[in-house]
Chains A and B, each alone.
Chain A
Amino acid sequence: MPSTAYHAPDTITGAIALLMADPTARPLSGGTDLIVQMRSGRVTPGAIVDLKRIDGMAGIREEGGGFVIGAATPCTALRNHAGLLAAWPGVVEAANLIGSVQVRNRATMAGNLCNASPAADSVPALVAAGAEAVIAGPAGVRRVPVAAIPLAPGRTSLAAGEFVVEFRLPAKPAGGGDAYLRSTPRTEMDIAVVGAGVSLVLGADGICTEARVALGAVAPTVVLVEDAAAALIGSRIDDAALDGVAEAARAVCNPIDDKRGSIAYRKAMAGVLARRAVLIAASRAGVIA
Chain B
Amino acid sequence: MSRLHVSATVNGDATDFLCDPSASLLDALRDQLGLTGSKEGCGSGDCGACTVMLDGEMVCSCLVLAAEAQGRSVRTIEGVAEGSVLHPVQQKFLEHAALQCGFCTPGFIVAAKALLDRNPDPTESEVRYWLAGNLCRCTGYDKIVRAVLAAAADLRQERTPA
CA of A106 to CA of B58, assembled, Å? 9
Q: Which one of B60-68, B78-86, B89-97 is at the interface? A: B60-68
Q: How far is the CB of B74 from chain A (nearest CB, A)?
A: 13
- The reply to whether A102 and B48 contact each other, CB–CB distance below 8 Å, is yes
- The reply to whether A36 and B57 contact each other, CB–CB distance below 8 Å, is no
CA of A106 to CA of B57, assembled, Å? 9
Q: Does A31 contact B (CB under 8 A)?
A: yes
Residue of A nearest to B51 (CB): A102
Q: Does A100 contact B (CB under 8 A)?
A: yes
Q: Does A182 contact B (CB under 8 A)?
A: no
Instruction: Please indicate the chain B residues that have their CB under 8 angstroms from the CB of A31 in the complex.
Output: 63-65, 68
CA of A39 to CA of B21, assembled, Å? 13
Residue of B nearest to A3 (CB): B1
- The reply to whether B46 and A6 contact each other, CB–CB distance below 8 Å, is no
- The reply to whether B45 and A99 contact each other, CB–CB distance below 8 Å, is yes
CA of A102 to CA of B62, assembled, Å? 11
Given contacts A188-B132, A189-B133, A102 and B45 within 8 Å (CB-CB): yes
Q: Does B35 contact A (CB under 8 A)?
A: no
- The reply to whether B44 and A39 contact each other, CB–CB distance below 8 Å, is yes
- The reply to whether A3 and B43 contact each other, CB–CB distance below 8 Å, is no
For chain A, residues 184 to 199, give those with C-beta under 8 angstroms from any C-beta of chain B: 187-189
For chain A, residues 1 to 58, give those with C-beta under 8 angstroms from any C-beta of chain B: 3-6, 8, 28, 30-32, 35-36, 38-40, 48, 50, 52
> Which of B20, B24, B57, B67 is in CB contact (< 8 Å) with A105?
B57
Q: Does A103 contact B (CB under 8 A)?
A: yes
CA of A144 to CA of B129, assembled, Å? 35
| B residues adjacent to A (C-beta < 8 A) | 1, 4, 20-22, 24, 43-46, 48, 51, 54, 57-60, 62-65, 67-68, 70, 111, 114, 129-130, 132-134
22 CB < 8 A contacts A-B: A4-B1, A4-B21, A5-B1, A6-B4, A8-B70, A32-B63, A35-B65, A36-B63, A48-B65, A50-B65, A50-B67, A100-B45, A100-B132, A101-B111, A101-B132, A102-B45, A102-B60, A103-B63, A103-B133, A105-B54, A106-B60, A106-B63
